[in-house]
Amino acid sequence: MSPPSERSSASWHGTTILCVRKGENVVIAGDGQVSLGDTVIKAGARKVRPIGNGKVIGGFAGATADAFTLFERLEAKLEQYPDQLTRACVELAKDWRTDRYLRRLEAMMAVADKSVSLVLTGTGDVLEPDDGLIGIGSGGNYALAAARALIDRDDMDAEAVARRAMKIAAGICVYTNENVTLESL
């Protein structure tokens, strides 16, 4: 991965992705804002989608074309290792780290199935959080902090926590809006 000074600000500022696992449910939510520098290019982008025949949900932060490439690669790994999300992610991370073309991709992914939530990075990391919460992108830490504050509320399910946390992040991060796409399992 290139140093921060060499990265394009347009590819690293423009999204908030949040994964919330609570009880038997898991959701991934993403805002719809796409920014180029300090200009909003699109307000309703879809950065969260089901993959792996609908058994996996994923969201991306970073360069859009790079993220689509990673989604396609993960789909192929899931076909190769059906119902084995962790194995598919580890194999993708190996490719991402060693392949000259993939190494230059600037994106991160949050993915989840019924049993595991993972973060994938271009440095070869496949990370499972202890608390079932993941936040990536420019507003990811704001959404993550809000979700951690809300997760123990008995009156909120995973979707309600995600929606409220995304609204809080949108009120803080200028690269995040309130047009939320949410997928759940």
- What pLDDT digit, counting tens, does each position of 17-68 carry? 999 999 999 999 999 998 888 888 899 999 999 999 999 999 998 877 777 8
Choice among 15, 16, 176, 181 that is catalytic = 15
d(CA 74, CA 27): 19
pLDDT at 34: 87
86 classed as catalytic: no
d(CA 20, CA 4): 28
- Per-residue pLDDT band for 1 (boundaries 50, 70, 90) equals very low
- Per-residue pLDDT band for 102 (boundaries 50, 70, 90) equals low
Closest CA to 96 of 129, 65, 64, 69: 69
pLDDT at 97: 75
List the beta bridge partners of residue 107.
Answer: 62
User: pLDDT digits over 114-135, tens only?
Assistant: 999 999 987 778 999 999 999 9
pLDDT at 98: 74
Closest CA to 175 of 32, 19, 3: 32
What domains are defined for the chain? 11-174 (3.60.20.10)
pLDDT at 100: 67
Cβ atoms of 108 and 92 within 8 Å: the answer is no
Least confident residue range of 15-19, 28-32, 71-75, 96-100: 96-100
pLDDT above 50 for 9:
no
Tell me how far the alpha carbon of residue 131 is from its chain's centroid: 16
Q: Can you give the length of the chain in residues?
A: 185
| Positions of E strands within the chain | 16-22, 25-30, 34-36, 39-42, 48-51, 56-62, 107-112, 117-120, 126-127, 133-137, 181-184
List the beta bridge partners of residue 40.
Answer: 35
pLDDT at 24: 94
User: pLDDT digits over 145-173, tens only?
Assistant: 999 999 999 999 999 999 999 999 999 99
